[in-house]
Amino acid sequence: MADAKITRDHDEIRRWAEERGGKPSAAADAMSPIDPEILRLDFDLKDRTLDVLTWGEFFETFEEAELTFLYQDQTEDGNKSRYYKFIHDGGRH
């Protein structure tokens, strides 16, 4: 895998997502509002298992859950990557 990066910067996360057509979303069936699995970025066609959020709602949950965004800018062959993951790290980064 190409180099992964991490950030908690809201502008950087939003820029990365929007450059790839990603929209802020949440898992409709999440058990806990601070579960790192609740947040998603929905690309292209709307996933029916996700609830649409505003960026404000998205980042409010992101902060409450003390998440960090792990992502990849490009794939090994130089294409734009959509790989990302939310990591609970207590907001250390």
Domain boundaries in the chain?
4-88
Sheet holding 39-43, edge to edge: 39-43, 22-27, 50-52
pTM of the model: 0.83
pLDDT at position 18: 96
3-state secondary structure the chain: CCCEEEECCHHHHHHHHHHCCEEEEEECCCCCCCCCCCEEEEECCCCCCEEECCHHHHHHHHHHCCEEEEEECECCCCCECCCEEEEECCCCC
pLDDT at position 74: 92
> What are the residues facing 51 on neighbouring strands?
26
Return averaged pLDDT per consecutive 10 residues of the chain, 93 residues in all: 87 97 84 66 78 92 92 92 88 55
pLDDT at position 35: 57
Which helix (H) or strand (E) segment holds residue 84: the answer is strand 84-88
